Amino acid sequence: MNPDFIVPEDGMILIDKPAGITSFGVVARVRRRLSEQLGKKAKVGHTGTLDPFATGLMLIVTGKECRNAMNYSKLDKEYEAVIRLGLTSSTGDPEGELTEVSTHIPTKEAVEAALEPFRGEITQRPPMFSAIKINGRRAYDLARKGEVVEIPERQVTVYNLELIDYTYPDVRIRAHVSSGTYIRSLAEDIGKVLETGAYCAELRRTKVADWRVDDATPITTA
């Protein structure tokens, strides 16, 4: 974090999260900085997690603004992601166990066609390794213990889904989605349509509502 960066006592700050750190780790760093500024323990919270492998925009709330965290968490988001074809992952991302599915190389036209069913309102099943609570317990905690996790499907909205680049095995997309949409699930579902398997190899949150990652303060993993 920029050593000259000042954290507001009651408000919101934009943080550009790097890969390799948890969302709670980001909160802890901001809390430590604000506590040092105030000379007392500060109240800091986030408005929506990012997976450790993911990067990008996090809205961090402090002090009295923490009471509005849930309102921010319901806002639309924009992501850029790399969907890697030919493999599946036990977690839907690079941190899981990878399994080869197919060596078939789809055409660009086939990839573009595979994106079409995922525009608009869609039904999606969140990943087993997610922070969703099942009977009061986090799904990822149950999954790590080998317990069977049945997460209900949900309706989400993909307002825009754009193919940025396709160089096999990587499909780079930009997606503007409603709150609660999982890009890891989207990647896996696209892989099923293409019959190649797929997982989300890279993920970056670029916007939350009208807030942009370009305006955020970067922090390091150190």
Active-site position among 4, 10, 16, 51? 51
Rounded Cα distance between 144 and 147, Å, is 7
Find out whether 74 and 48 touch, Cβ atoms under 8 Å.
Answer: no
Compute the distance between CA of residue 172 and CA of residue 163 in angstroms, rounded to an integer.
6
The encoded tokens of residue 111 equal: 């990839």
Task: Give me the helices (H) in the chain, please.
Answer: 23-38, 69-73, 108-115, 139-144, 183-194
Collapsing DSSP to helix, strand or coil, 126 comes out as coil
Spatial contact of 11 and 67, defined as CB atoms under 8 Å apart: no
- Annotation says 51 is catalytic: yes
Cα separation, 79 vs 174, in Å, equals 6
Residue 73: CB partners within 8 Å, gap ≥ 6? 47, 48, 179
Q: Which active-site residues does the annotation give? A: 51
